[in-house]
Amino acid sequence: MRDILTNHLLSVVIFVPLIGAIIIALLPLRNKDNGELDSSGATVVKAVAMIFAVLDFLLSLLLIPAFQSGKAGFQLQEGPYLWISRFNVHYHLGIDGISLLLILLTTFLCLLSVIYSFNIKTRLKEYMVFIMILETAMLGVFCALDLVLFYVFWESVLIPMYFLIGIWGHERRIYAAIKFFLYTFAGSVLMLLGIVFLYVHTHTFNLIELTDPRFMPYHLLMGLPARTLLYLYSAFALAFMIKVPMFPFHTWLPDAHVEAPTAGSVILAGVMLKMGVYGFLRFCIPLFPEQARNSAPLFITLAIIGIIYGAIVAAVQPDMKKLVAYSSVSHLGFVMLGIFSFTTIGMTGAVLQSVNHGVSTGMLFFMVGMMYDRKHTREIKAYGGLKRSVPILAAFFMIALFSSIGLPLTNGFIGEFTIMLGSYLSPFAGINVTALACTGIILSAIYMLWLFQRVFTGPLDKEENKKLHDLNWREKWVLAPLVVMIFWFGCYVTTWTNFLHTPVNTIMRSSGMSEASNSISQRVAKLP
């Protein structure tokens, strides 16, 4: 037992939810004709799901003491164990600080999603099974060091999410589910081609061998013609861009978000989008540093467009969930700006903002879901003056809102400020680009405060709104941990940045940018 926990902790963290899924699936419980379980059956399903979600969260916490933040390279490695010998595919896991943060985010949000989803009535058993499978797949993505293994996890994320949207979604769920599946799948197929091509030329799927100059495959890869590398880079980048999503590949996101059940939206925004971000940091930049550097102006442009465009479109949405969805486009624009600033501060900020976005947007989606549970509509117009009838909900919403628009001492500020500082210092951006990004912060205040005004303030004039009940204990238990995270990140971010110094420096070094960024302050100092 101890041996498994020390030597195979990652596998344990990844597959515990899957075991939970299997157990839930094997429970001898049948849905009644209306698709619901009887109450004792539902309790059992909830209990099992809860046990495994909590267990996995606790196990993921064990990663923290096991992890050495100062150490370079991948830690807690497992394998490589040969998996498919014909093609030299291995089962190979390992994490760095970036993965660690995203793993913790995943187990944290999945746990909250499970608690939140206790109110699911129809086909609860299947629902929990899909959530647990989804958790395993997402955790796998953040741990895999073998390209094929990564791809397998990457694609298997799609399937449970497809069913979550398609079965438990809202009115246009089928359209949204298919669009989500095909759109992201189309991107990933190109990436698969890229992976195969890499293998043909380097005979390995091992990420470490491909990115470390001490190994042959690295030199084989670098020896490829520039044009070939550019095509390969584009294949990877496109898959990740769609996942993030970057403008103009974002239109699947609002549809999927709006139609997905609440927990689905939370996981989608909180974790799945970060898979795209992670893809850039883990694969695109280390595998193709030169191409990534050269494409920085393009990506920064798209990121800036995304920031402003997402915010403007969010402002005019009549549907709360869509508003939050478009705000994600804007926030992820910041993340991409941070990555492609190619500065230490900017990249650290990008990772922080990924987690922050998961926390604050996740919280917003939870709260929109809570309001939907009460009134069965997402139309902003149907609300008004709710601060009087549900003051605690309003207070929580306000915290999420101010975290989302980056008020200092909340997590959002740390992310946005460090990203913009990185962009300011970046050789690819500078003061003007940063000023443009900063307008996104003004716009975010506009759409969020306007939303709050229309939903929570004004006269409580609609009869049905007067009788809404305030948050219950289950809901408070979902939101309170998120509030703690908001202020933890906001007031003492050092806890988390300690994990990020080494991996960010590694990425910076592999992209060949570290010296350049040091000389920037001199460049700026030579202002007229």
Partner 1 sequence: MSLVWLIPGLPLIGFLFHAFLGKSIVKSMGDANGKKTIGAIATGLVFASLLISVMVFMDLMKLAPADQRQYVSLLPGGSRIPWISIGSLHVYYMGIIDPLSLLMCFIVTGVGGVIHLYATGYMADDKDYPRFFTYFNLFIFFMLMLVLSENILLMFVGWEGVGLCSYLLISFWFEDVENSKAGNKAFIVNRIGDLGFSIGVMTIFAVFGTLSFYTPQGTGFLDMAAKGITPHGMLSVGAATLIALLLFMGACGKSAQFPLYVWLPDAMAGPTPVSALIHAATMVTAGVVMITRVSPLIVHSPIAMMVIACVGVFTAFYAATIAMTQNDIKKVLAYSTVSQLGYMFLGCGVGAFAAGMFHVTTHAFFKGLLFLGAGSVIHAMSGEQDMRKMGGLKDRIPVTFWTMVCAWLAISGIPPFAGFWSKDEILGSATGFPQYGMALYAVGLFTALMTAFYMTRLMMKTFWTKPRYKDEELGAHSSHGSDDSHSHDAKHHGVHESPPSMLISLVILAILSVIGGLVGIPGHNLFDKFLAPSVAPYPLKDGMPVPIGMLLGTAFGAVGIAVCVVMYNRRQETGDLLSPKEKASNALYKGSLNLWYVDSAYYKLFVTEGGKVAEFIWQGIDRALIDGIVNFVAGLLGFLSELFRRFQTGYIRAYAFVMLAGVVAVVISVLWPFLRHLHI
Residues at the interface with partner 1 (CB under 8 A): 179, 182-183, 248, 250-252, 309, 312-313, 315-317, 343-345, 348-349, 385, 387-388, 402, 407-409, 413-414, 417-418, 420-421, 424-425, 431, 434-435, 438-439, 441-442, 445-446, 449-450, 453, 456-460, 491-494, 497, 500-501, 520-522, 524-528
CB of 526 to partner 1, least distance (A): 8
Instruction: Evaluate whether 302 touches 336 at the Cβ level (below 8 Å).
Output: yes
CB of 401 to partner 1, least distance (A): 11
Beta-bridge partner residues of 91 = 81
CB of 269 to partner 1, least distance (A): 18
CB of 358 to partner 1, least distance (A): 19
Instruction: Evaluate whether 384 touches 461 at the Cβ level (below 8 Å).
Output: yes
Closest CB to partner 1 among residues 13, 401:
401
CB of 135 to partner 1, least distance (A): 29
Q: What whole-number distance in Å separates Cα of residue 358 and Cα of residue 265?
A: 11
Q: What whole-number distance in Å separates Cα of residue 278 and Cα of residue 350?
A: 10
Closest CB to partner 1 among residues 261, 349:
349
Closest CB to partner 1 among residues 182, 226:
182
CB of 113 to partner 1, least distance (A): 27
Q: What whole-number distance in Å separates Cα of residue 196 and Cα of residue 201?
A: 9
Q: What whole-number distance in Å separates Cα of residue 37 and Cα of residue 124?
A: 7
Burial per residue of 150-181, b for 16 or more beta-carbon CB atoms within 10 angstroms, e otherwise: bbbbbbbbbebbbbbbbbbbeeebeebbebbb
CB of 417 to partner 1, least distance (A): 7
Closest CB to partner 1 among residues 106, 343:
343
CB of 160 to partner 1, least distance (A): 22
Residues in the chain: 528
Long-range own/partner contacts, residues 191-197 (CB < 8 A, 24 or more apart): 191/151, 191/154, 191/235, 191/236, 191/238, 191/239, 191/240, 192/151, 193/235, 194/231, 194/232, 194/235, 194/236, 195/147, 195/148, 195/151, 197/232
Instruction: Evaluate whether 143 touches 95 at the Cβ level (below 8 Å).
Output: yes
Closest CB to partner 1 among residues 138, 394:
394
CB of 155 to partner 1, least distance (A): 19
Closest CB to partner 1 among residues 154, 456:
456
CB of 233 to partner 1, least distance (A): 23
Closest CB to partner 1 among residues 53, 507:
507
Eight-state DSSP code of residue 110: H
What element of type H or E holds 83? strand 75-84
Full 3-state SS string of 152-210: HHHHHCHHHHHHHHHHHCCCCHHHHHHHHHHHHHHHHHHHHHHHHHHHHHHCCCEHHHH
Backbone angles phi, psi at 374, to 5 degrees: -85, -40
Query: Helix (H, G, I), strand (E, B), or coil: what is residue 467?
Result: coil
Closest CB to partner 1 among residues 90, 257:
257
Closest CB to partner 1 among residues 17, 166:
166
Closest CB to partner 1 among residues 242, 285:
242
CA dihedral 473, 477, 483, 486 (to 10 degrees): -160
Decide: residue 445, CB within 10 A, 0-12 exposed, 13-18 middle, 19+ buried: middle
CB of 388 to partner 1, least distance (A): 7
Closest CB to partner 1 among residues 40, 519:
519
Q: What whole-number distance in Å separates Cα of residue 469 and Cα of residue 475?
A: 12
